[in-house]
């Protein structure tokens, strides 16, 4: 039996186990029933559009069914042969001898003049022209294979007609124009390169600039030499060795520069 459960007898004398809550003073206080809060109802954003469409198309079915038209009269029934095409009424034709036009065929007794008459014998002339004339040349043809079909050679594309044109072999205008543009661009590029080289040309130092440069190098060497003399006698650490080597390199470089400037009186420098 679980804790807090008390045995009791049922209606048939059976033993029933019920779950009893623990006694507490708070159980005597009235309890408020908390109703579950329902979430807000979903409302579609297309609701006004649907309402407007429903009002617009309302009662569209009223037009269905038989059309409200006037009923046909029973007198207007379909009769036999009423829809067949009717020909116009035939008119009686009576020949009137007085109104007949004059015949265009000449009579036997008439001798009409047929314009300018020629005494040329066209039969003999045609025979002479056929005998003395040159034979007609056959049209040139081409055959795609030994027992294939025949085609006219002129329209087959095998006749070199293009080389007989007046502008054949002439350079097109757009090509000459493009070549001129390329040459112009090359000239402009070469001119800009020459101008850039002129700006970066070598400049000669004057005597005053040379002397001031030499004095500045000597002054720098003296400062480095003073620092070198100020080193400790015993150099036992790695930073001291590195610093000593650095000063020695600076002194050697300054000595080399001083020697070069003293050796050459004319010095050129490149413009930046």
Confidence category of residue 100, pLDDT binned at 50, 70, 90: low
Asked whether residue 172 is assigned to any structural domain, the reply reads: yes
Separation of alpha carbons 194 and 197, rounded Å: 5
Q: Is the pLDDT of residue 166 over 50?
A: yes
Residue 244 Cα distances to 224, 232, 233, 253, angstroms: 11, 10, 11, 14
Question: For residue 192, how many C-alpha atoms fall within 13 Å in the half-sphere facing its CB?
Answer: 6
Q: If residue 7 lies in a helix (H) or strand (E), which one and from where to where?
A: strand 5-9
Task: Tell me what pLDDT residue 16 has.
Answer: 46
Tokens 């809550």 belong to residue: 21
- If one counts the domains in the chain, the total is 2
How many other CB atoms are there within 10 angstroms of residue 217's CB atom? 20
What pLDDT is recorded for position 4? 45
State the alpha helices, DSSP H only, in the chain: 47-56, 122-132, 173-199, 207-229, 238-263
Asked if 208 and 256 sit in the same domain, the reply is yes
Is 269 in contact with 257 (CB distance < 8 Å)? no
Does residue 21 sit within a domain? no
Give the pLDDT band of residue 5 (cuts 50, 70, 90): very low
Residue 264 sits in which domain range? 202-270
Looking at the fold, whether 191 and 180 belong to one and the same domain comes out as yes
Is 48 inside a domain boundary? no
Tell me which of 150, 184, 200 is where a domain ends: 200
Residue 183, domain member (yes or no): yes
Is 126 within a domain?
Answer: no
Rounded distance, CA 71 to CA 38, Å? 62
206, 266: one domain: yes
The answer to whether residues 267 and 205 touch, using CB atoms and an 8 Å cutoff, is: yes
Position 251 in a domain: yes
Domain-embedded: residue 44: no
Residue 62 confidence class, pLDDT cut points 50, 70, 90: low
Q: Are both 194 and 238 inside the same structural domain? A: no
Is 9 within 8 Å of 16 (Cβ atoms)? yes
Q: What integer is the mean pLDDT of 30-49? A: 89
Together in a domain, 221 and 259: yes
Average pLDDT over residues 96-105: 64
Are both 252 and 265 inside the same structural domain? Answer: yes
| pLDDT band of 7, cuts 50, 70, 90 | very low
pLDDT of residue 8: 46
Q: Are residues 221 and 249 in the same domain?
A: yes
> How far are the Cα atoms of 32, 43, 56, 59 from residue 48, in angstroms, in the given order?
41, 10, 12, 19
What's the CA gap between 81 and 61, in Å, rounded? Answer: 41
- Do 185 and 208 belong to one domain? no
**Do 185 and 237 have their domain in common?**
no
User: What pLDDT, in 10s, does the model give residues 104-116?
Assistant: 777 788 776 666 7
Q: What is the pLDDT of residue 93?
A: 60
Map residue 135 onto helix, strand or coil: coil
In a domain, 41, yes or no: no
Return d(Cα 46, Cα 236) in angstroms, integer: 89
Q: Is 163 found in the same domain as 210?
A: no
CA atoms of 258 and 218, how far apart (whole Å):
7
Q: Which pLDDT score is estimated for 185? A: 95
More confident residue, 118 or 237: 237
Tokens representing residue 254 in the block: 């300054």
Secondary structure class of 244 (helix, strand, coil): helix
Return the axis-axis angle of helices 238-263 and 207-229, rounded to nearest 10°.
160
Q: Please indicate, yes or no, whether the overall pTM of this predicted structure exceeds 0.85.
A: no
Mean residue pLDDT across the chain: 81
If asked whether residues 187 and 223 sit together in one domain, one would say no
> Of 199, 222, 198, 218, whose CA–CA distance to 210 is shortest?
218
Do 266 and 245 fall within a single domain? yes
The span from the CA of 196 to the CA of 186, in Å, is: 15
Question: Looking at the predicted structure, is the pLDDT value of residue 214 above 70?
Answer: yes
């Amino acid at each position: 039996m679980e804790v807090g459960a008390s045995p009791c007898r049922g209606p048939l004398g059976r033993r029933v186990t019920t779950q009893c809550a623990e006694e507490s003073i708070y159980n005597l206080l009235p309890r408020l029933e908390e109703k579950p809060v329902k979430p807000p109802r979903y409302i579609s954003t297309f609701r006004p559009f649907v309402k407007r469409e429903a009002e617009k198309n309302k009662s569209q079915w009223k037009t269905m069914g038989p059309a409200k038209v006037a009923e046909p009269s029973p007198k207007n029934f379909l009769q036999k042969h009423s829809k067949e095409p009717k020909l116009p009424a035939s008119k009686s034709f009576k020949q009137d001898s007085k109104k007949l036009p004059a015949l265009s065929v000449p009579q036997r007794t008439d001798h009409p003049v047929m314009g300018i008459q020629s005494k040329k014998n066209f039969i003999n002339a045609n025979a002479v022209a056929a005998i003395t004339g040159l034979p007609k040349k056959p049209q040139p043809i081409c055959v795609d294979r030994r027992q294939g079909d025949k085609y006219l050679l002129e329209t087959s594309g095998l006749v070199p007609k293009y080389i007989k044109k007046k502008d054949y072999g002439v350079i097109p205008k757009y090509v000459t124009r493009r070549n001129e543009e390329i040459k112009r661009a090359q000239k402009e590029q070469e001119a800009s390169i020459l101008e850039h080289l002129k700006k970066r040309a070598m400049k000669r130092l004057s005597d005053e600039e040379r002397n001031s440069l030499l004095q500045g190098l000597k002054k720098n060497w003296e400062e480095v030499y003073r620092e070198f003399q100020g080193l400790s006698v015993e150099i036992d650490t790695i930073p001291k060795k590195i610093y000593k080597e650095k000063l020695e390199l600076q002194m050697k470089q300054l000595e080399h520069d001083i020697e070069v400037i003293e050796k050459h009186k004319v010095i050129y420098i490149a413009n930046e």
